[in-house]
Amino acid sequence: MKKTLLIVGSVLIGAIVLVALLFMILSLTACSSTPKDAACVEGVEVEIMTTADGVEFVRTPDACFENLPDWPYEPQYVEIDGLRQAYVDVGPADAEETILLLHGQPSWSYLYRKMIPGLEGAGHRVIAMDHLGMGRSDKPSDPEYYTYQGHVDRLEAFIQELELDDTNLTIFVQDWGSLIGLNVVGTHPDWFDRLVVGNGFLPTFEEGTIPYPLPENPRTTRNLFHQAVLNLPAQQELIDWEDENFDSGGESEISYFSLWIDYARNDERFRPEVFVEAQTYYDLTPEEEQAYAAPFPSRIFMGGVRAFPGLINQLPGVTDSAWAGLGTYTNPFLTIWGNNDGGNLGNPVVQQTLLDHIPGSEGWDHVRLPEASHFLQDDQGEEVTRRINEFIAATSE
Confirm if 292 and 276 have CB atoms less than 8 A apart.
yes
Question: Which amino acid is located at 165 in the chain?
Answer: D
pLDDT reported for residue 297? 93
Confirm if 198 and 174 have CB atoms less than 8 A apart.
yes
Q: Of the residues 131, 374, 378, 379, which is catalytic?
A: 374
What are the beta bridge partners of residue 88?
128
Q: How far apart are CA 49 and CA 181, in angstroms?
A: 29
Confirm if 338 and 346 have CB atoms less than 8 A apart.
yes
Answering whether pTM is above 0.75, one says: yes
Residues of the chain with pLDDT below 70 are 1-43, 243-254, 344, 397
pLDDT reported for residue 233? 76
- Domain extent at residue 311: 2-395
Chain mean position to CA 173: 8
Strand order across the 49-50 sheet = 49-50, 56-58, 139-140
Residue 341 designated active-site: yes
Q: How far apart are CA 72 and CA 65, in angstroms?
A: 10
Residue 243 designated active-site: no
> How many C-beta neighbours within 10 Å does residue 43 have?
8
Q: Of the residues 138, 193, 262, 341, which is catalytic?
A: 341
pLDDT reported for residue 251? 46
First to last CA, the chain: 40
Cα separation values, 231 from 21, 234, 284, Å: 9, 9, 16
Cα separation values, 176 from 29, 160, 215, 263, 345, Å: 29, 20, 22, 17, 12
Confirm if 204 and 8 have CB atoms less than 8 A apart.
no
Output the domain CATH number for residue 347. Answer: 3.40.50.1820
Residue 165 designated active-site: no
In degrees, rounded to 5, the angle at the alpha carbon of residue 164 between the alpha carbons of residues 61 and 159 is 55
Nearest CA-CA partner of 182 in 193, 194, 173, 191: 173
Nearest CA-CA partner of 38 in 260, 233, 305: 305
pLDDT in tens, 97-130: 999 999 999 999 999 999 999 999 999 999 999 9
Helix (H) or strand (E) holding 133: none
DSSP symbols for 163-177: TGGGS-EEEEE-THH
DSSP assignment, residue 33? P
> How many C-beta neighbours within 10 Å does residue 246 have?
10
Q: Specify the number of domains making up the chain.
A: 1
Q: Of the residues 175, 193, 262, 379, which is catalytic?
A: 175
pLDDT reported for residue 41? 60
